[in-house]
């Protein structure tokens, strides 16, 4: 017999559908094992973090049991009563199942059984959900996605009481509820199930997990490899604007690991959706590991599932909140339930990385299973070491050849973090934000923000908790990001079909030395015949207390364009060295591509040499200094125009505007000094930068001189088209000769 394992070794690039065999298994097997339960019972009362976790779960479940069973007829969108009730039901059921296993208190099994039969009774009567917005309407919920959430959790509850139920009860549930449910979200909705998308990952896991419990071969196979010959039409889109069919027509759980994950474990949709998909990825993987260890699922694609947990933790600010790359709701963090699961499983099935324990400690709770017990015991035994976030570079694309993301950090305390994006489109949740960046401080505060999404997830009054139209008209548009807009048109003309075909390219990076970290990337497709190159350099100069970010945005084209470069600062404007005029009425910047959402609060001519803009963000000053001429314009903007329902935040922007063919926006973002609201001391409130002198800017080279107010001077020499370490470069600038070997050199002049 060919084992699946051998197959997997040979099908890294493309997994063909193989025949698999299910063996009789003991229950439980999904989230927890029989052996695991025995071990847990032995350790009860001896492992503080585990005991505390049980206690909290018990309180929650006991309250739910006391409140009684409520299985309403489906009616609402997310945030509405029926939606939230069914959601709560599956979360509680899963926990009740575990409590039954661990505490061996039958009342939990009774509760799960009664709920399951309430669903059994309801489900067989259900037509499609009455809300029609989804491309794949569910039955319990408005979309198959949420139905799949239900089944991922409920299959675990069923697994936990499987042996406790009678044969007849099991058959009834499987016949009337689970099998039809699994078929509905798969074969009856191939446009949902057979994609490479976080939606399908949930669908795959749901079908696979219930298949394992039911020991149903066919379902497990369908989960792993998709529906055969689904033949989805090409070019059809879902209600979020994403393509239903991927080019290779691959589908199923394995395809969903292959495609959206880069080799390091970056998920192309971005961290918010990676977090969301993490639960079905890991829950199903764990179940497969328990039920079918020969699959070696955690080893698949160089352990990408386990590695992706560490990637996800690295894609957080100092508070543990995910960077809102692409569509992402701010505030989501590693305190979410998905990350509890992810961290515990990554520890247990990975190499027992003790730094994960520090995250588990911050989370304050563990899974009620084998993995959670292992984590809690290791924490108890003092094995924790800090999880220190460093500069990381992640490639995008299944093969890691579609650009990527750099998170450039200075300081062990994450004193300054730039999140620099030169990735692919990111499927339907992607934004048109090539070469954009955002900036964070040591407290996890945003300094220069990425807007995130225009949605209030699960808040029913706000468009049913779904994506609002401002997500498309504002949040995805280029002007909503800290990157360059040409002629007031978004990258790829804001068209998903075009954007999906392209990605930026990493040009060069060197971040070995903490005091000088350079990343440079290029984008040649966002605008026809225009090349963008952005180079971000995190520099810690001896003379300055804080690191600075040197940001070089080079544009070249063969015709003159209007280039807009916005910085969405957060905080209070303190001072500028240019003058802006404010009018007594506010008008919008323009009519489309997001500009229709910006009020023009002030505008004027830039400073003739260096435009400086100082703001106070929480208790720290920041100055954005850009080399400008008197032909440049400065614009002060406010988000919120043409937003009658107040779906957008009224946040501020500072924008540079320049008409040119080839040009360089040379900017330094400089944290400095501080202000205390309690002592009312203001220190270092002024920039230490005297000037930014662009010595040279061409297709081949960019040379920029920084001059501090104390007289010190530094020059960065950068080769723009030659990144071989051995290449030698010589350039005469005025009377001065610059020569260097390798892509760049950073010189201290005086």
What x/- string results for residues 402 through 441 when contact with its own copies is judged by CB under 8 A?
Answer: ----------------------------------------
Region binding its own copies by CB under 8 A among candidate stretches 107-115, 186-194, 374-382, 454-462? 454-462
Nearer of residues 255 and 315 to its own copies, judged by Cβ? 315
State the minimum distance, in angstroms, from the CB of residue 649 to its own copies. Answer: 7
Residue with tokens 């407290």: 443
Residues 647-666 that bind its own copies (CB under 8 A): 649-650, 652
- Among candidate residues 111, 123, 153, 273, the one labeled active-site is 273
Nearer of residues 173 and 600 to its own copies, judged by Cβ? 600
**What number of residues does the chain have?**
750
Q: What are the backbone angles phi and psi of residue 356, rounded to the nearest 5°?
A: -65, -25
Region binding its own copies by CB under 8 A among candidate stretches 307-315, 325-333, 499-507, 711-719? 325-333
**Residues in Cβ contact with 617 at an 8 Å cutoff, skipping those fewer than 6 apart:** 441, 445, 447, 569, 570, 571
DSSP 344: H
**Known catalytic residue at 273:** yes
Q: How far apart are CA 324 and CA 73, in angstroms?
A: 35
Region binding its own copies by CB under 8 A among candidate stretches 26-34, 256-264, 330-338, 521-529? 330-338
Using alpha carbons only, give the angle 447, 449, 450 rounded to the nearest 5 degrees: 155
State the minimum distance, in angstroms, from the CB of residue 6 to its own copies. Answer: 41
Region binding its own copies by CB under 8 A among candidate stretches 92-100, 536-544, 625-633, 642-650? 642-650
Nearer of residues 244 and 312 to its own copies, judged by Cβ? 312
Q: Cα–Cα distances in Å, from 691 out to 533, 660, 702?
A: 22, 22, 16
- Exactly one of 7, 39, 462, 745 binds its own copies (CB under 8 A); that residue is 462
Q: What is the DSSP string of 31-74?
A: SS-HHHHHHHHHHTTT-HHHHHHHHHHHHHHHHHHHH----PPP
Residues 136-165 that bind its own copies (CB under 8 A): none
Using alpha carbons only, give the angle 378, 380, 386 rounded to the nearest 5 degrees: 65
Helix, strand, or coil (residue 258):
helix
Confirm or reject binding of residue 329 to its own copies (CB under 8 A): yes
Q: How far apart are CA 390 and CA 387, in angstroms?
A: 10
Binding-site size for its own copies (CB under 8 A) equals: 58
Q: How far apart are CA 526 and CA 556, in angstroms?
A: 12
Residue with tokens 């991922």: 152
Nearer of residues 107 and 682 to its own copies, judged by Cβ? 682
Q: Cα–Cα distances in Å, from 191 out to 170, 195, 221, 587?
A: 30, 7, 18, 43
Q: How far apart are CA 326 and CA 405, in angstroms?
A: 12
Region binding its own copies by CB under 8 A among candidate stretches 109-117, 552-560, 568-576, 699-707? 568-576
Nearer of residues 79 and 190 to its own copies, judged by Cβ? 79
State the minimum distance, in angstroms, from the CB of residue 417 to its own copies. Answer: 20
Nearer of residues 152 and 287 to its own copies, judged by Cβ? 152
Q: What is the 3-state secondary structure (H, E, C) of 702-748?
A: EEEEEEECCCCEEEEEEECCCCCCCCEEEEEECCEEEEEECCEEEEE
Nearer of residues 331 and 528 to its own copies, judged by Cβ? 331
Q: How far apart are CA 361 and CA 364, in angstroms?
A: 5
- Exactly one of 242, 265, 465, 594 binds its own copies (CB under 8 A); that residue is 465
Helix, strand, or coil (residue 83):
helix
Q: What are the backbone angles phi and psi of residue 148, rounded to the nearest 5°?
A: -65, -40
What x/- string results for residues 673 through 712 when contact with its own copies is judged by CB under 8 A?
Answer: --x-xxxxxxx-xx--------------------------
What x/- string results for residues 86 through 105 when contact with its own copies is judged by CB under 8 A?
Answer: -xx-----------------
Confirm or reject binding of residue 474 to its own copies (CB under 8 A): no
Nearer of residues 253 and 599 to its own copies, judged by Cβ? 599
The answer to whether 118 touches 177, Cβ cutoff 8 Å, is no
Q: Count the Cβ atoms, other than its own, within 10 Å of residue 384.
A: 18
- Among candidate residues 129, 429, 481, 729, the one labeled active-site is 429
Confirm or reject binding of residue 330 to its own copies (CB under 8 A): yes
Q: How far apart are CA 160 and CA 34, in angstroms?
A: 10
**Known catalytic residue at 429:** yes
State the minimum distance, in angstroms, from the CB of residue 545 to its own copies. Answer: 14
For 218-244, letters b (16+ CB in 10 Å) and e give ebbbbbbbbbeebebeeeeebebebbb
Confirm or reject binding of residue 458 to its own copies (CB under 8 A): yes
State the minimum distance, in angstroms, from the CB of residue 249 to its own copies. Answer: 33
- Exactly one of 172, 457, 514, 731 binds its own copies (CB under 8 A); that residue is 457
Nearer of residues 198 and 245 to its own copies, judged by Cβ? 198
State the minimum distance, in angstroms, from the CB of residue 390 to its own copies. Answer: 25
Q: What are the backbone angles phi and psi of residue 419, rounded to the nearest 5°?
A: -105, 105
What x/- string results for residues 573 through 612 when contact with its own copies is judged by CB under 8 A?
Answer: xxx----xxx-xxxxx----------x-xx----------
Region binding its own copies by CB under 8 A among candidate stretches 106-114, 456-464, 496-504, 720-728? 456-464
Beta bridge pairs of residue 17: none
State the minimum distance, in angstroms, from the CB of residue 430 to its own copies. Answer: 21
Question: What tokens does 256 get?
Answer: 């969903």
The answer to whether 475 touches 461, Cβ cutoff 8 Å, is no
Region binding its own copies by CB under 8 A among candidate stretches 285-293, 367-375, 670-678, 701-709? 670-678
Q: Cα–Cα distances in Å, from 445 out to 673, 682, 739?
A: 16, 20, 40
Confirm or reject binding of residue 450 to its own copies (CB under 8 A): no
State the minimum distance, in angstroms, from the CB of residue 581 to its own copies. Answer: 7
State the minimum distance, in angstroms, from the CB of residue 211 to its own copies. Answer: 28
State the minimum distance, in angstroms, from the CB of residue 427 to its own copies. Answer: 21
State the minimum distance, in angstroms, from the CB of residue 644 to its own copies. Answer: 4
**Residues in Cβ contact with 503 at an 8 Å cutoff, skipping those fewer than 6 apart:** 396, 397, 402, 403, 422, 423, 424, 425
Nearer of residues 131 and 614 to its own copies, judged by Cβ? 614
State the minimum distance, in angstroms, from the CB of residue 601 to its own copies. Answer: 7
Q: Give the residue numbers marked as catalytic.
A: 273, 429
Residues that bind its own copies (CB under 8 A): 79, 84, 87-88, 329-333, 335-337, 456-462, 465, 572-575, 580-582, 584-588, 599, 601-602, 614, 616, 636, 638, 640-644, 646, 649-650, 652, 675, 677-683, 685-686
């Amino acid at each position: 017999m060919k084992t699946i394992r051998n197959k997997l070794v040979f099908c890294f690039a493309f997994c063909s559908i193989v025949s698999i065999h299910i063996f009789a298994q003991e229950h439980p097997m999904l989230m927890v094992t029989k052996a695991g339960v025995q071990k847990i019972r032995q350790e009860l009362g001896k492992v503080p973090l585990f005991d505390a976790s049980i206690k909290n779960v018990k309180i929650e479940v006991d309250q739910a049991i006391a409140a009684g069973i409520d299985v309403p007829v489906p009616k609402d969108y997310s945030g509405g009563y029926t939606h939230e009730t069914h959601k709560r039901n599956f979360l509680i059921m899963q926990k009740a199942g575990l409590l039954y296993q661990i505490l061996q208190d039958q009342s939990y099994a009774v509760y799960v059984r009664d709920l399951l039969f309430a669903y059994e009774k309801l489900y067989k009567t259900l037509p499609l959900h009455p809300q029609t917005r989804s491309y794949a309407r569910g039955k319990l919920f408005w979309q198959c996605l949420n139905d799949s959430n239900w089944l991922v959790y409920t299959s675990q509850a069923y697994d936990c009481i499987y042996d406790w139920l009678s044969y007849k009860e099991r058959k009834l549930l499987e016949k009337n509820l689970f099998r039809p449910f699994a078929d509905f979200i798969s074969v009856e909705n191939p446009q949902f199930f057979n994609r490479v998308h976080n939606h399908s990952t949930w669908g795959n896991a749901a079908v696979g997990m219930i298949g394992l419990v039911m020991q149903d071969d066919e379902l497990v196979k369908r989960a792993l490899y998709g529906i055969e010959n689904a033949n989805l039409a090409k070019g059809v889109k879902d209600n979020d604007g994403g393509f239903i069919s991927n080019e290779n027509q691959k589908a199923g759980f394995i395809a969903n690991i292959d495609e959206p994950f880069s080799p390091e474990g970056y998920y192309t949709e971005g961290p918010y959706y990676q977090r969301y998909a993490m639960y079905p990825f890991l829950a199903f993987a764990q179940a497969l590991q328990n039920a079918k260890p020969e699959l070696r699922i955690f080893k698949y694609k160089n352990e990408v599932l386990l590695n992706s947990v560490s990637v996800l933790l690295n894609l957080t600010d100092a508070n543990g909140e995910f960077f809102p790359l692409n569509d992402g709701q701010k505030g989501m963090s590693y305190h979410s339930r998905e990350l509890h699961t992810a961290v515990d499983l990554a520890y247990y099935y990975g190499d027992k990385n003790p730094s994960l324990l520090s995250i588990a400690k911050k989370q304050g709770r563990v899974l009620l299973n084998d993995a959670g017990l292992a984590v809690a015991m290791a924490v108890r035994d003092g094995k924790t070491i800090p999880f220190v976030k460093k500069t990381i570079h992640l490639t995008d694309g299944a093969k890691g050849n579609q650009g990527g993301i750099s998170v450039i950090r200075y300081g062990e305390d994450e004193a300054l973090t730039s999140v620099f994006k030169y990735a692919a489109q990111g499927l339907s949740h992607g934004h048109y934000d090539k070469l954009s960046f955002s900036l964070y401080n040591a407290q996890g505060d945003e300094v220069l923000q990425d807007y995130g999404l225009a949605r209030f997830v699960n808040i029913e009054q706000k468009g049913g908790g779904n994506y609002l139209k401002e997500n498309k008209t504002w949040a995805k548009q280029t002007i909503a990001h800290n990157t360059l807009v040409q002629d007031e048109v978004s990258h790829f003309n804001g068209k998903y079909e075009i954007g999906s075909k392209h990605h930026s390219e990493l040009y060069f990076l060197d971040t070995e030395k903490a005091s000088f970290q350079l990343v440079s990337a290029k984008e040649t497709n966002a605008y026809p015949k225009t090349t963008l190159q952005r180079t971000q350099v995190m520099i810690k100069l001896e003379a300055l207390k804080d690191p600075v970010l040197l940001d070089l945005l080079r544009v070249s084209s063969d015709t003159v364009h209007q280039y807009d470069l916005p910085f969405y600062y957060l905080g209070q404007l303190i001072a500028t060295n240019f003058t802006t005029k404010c009018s007594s009425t506010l008008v919008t910047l323009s009519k489309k591509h997001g500009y229709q959402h910006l009020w023009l609060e002030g505008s004027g001519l830039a400073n003739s040499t260096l435009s400086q803009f100082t703001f106070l963000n929480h208790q720290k000053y920041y100055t954005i200094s850009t080399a400008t001429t008197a032909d440049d314009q400065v614009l002060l903007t406010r988000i919120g125009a043409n937003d009658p329902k107040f779906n957008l935040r009224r946040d501020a922007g500072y924008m540079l505007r320049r008409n040119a063919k080839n040009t360089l926006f040379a900017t330094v973002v400089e944290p400095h000094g501080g202000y205390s609201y309690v002592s009312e001391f203001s220190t270092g409130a002024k920039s230490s930068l005297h000037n930014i002198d662009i010595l040279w800017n061409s297709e081949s080279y960019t040379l920029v001189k920084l001059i501090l107010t104390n007289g010190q001077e530094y020059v960065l020499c950068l080769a723009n088209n030659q990144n071989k370490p051995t290449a030698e470069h010589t350039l005469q600038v005025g009377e001065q000769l610059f020569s260097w070997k390798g892509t760049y050199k950073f010189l201290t002049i005086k």
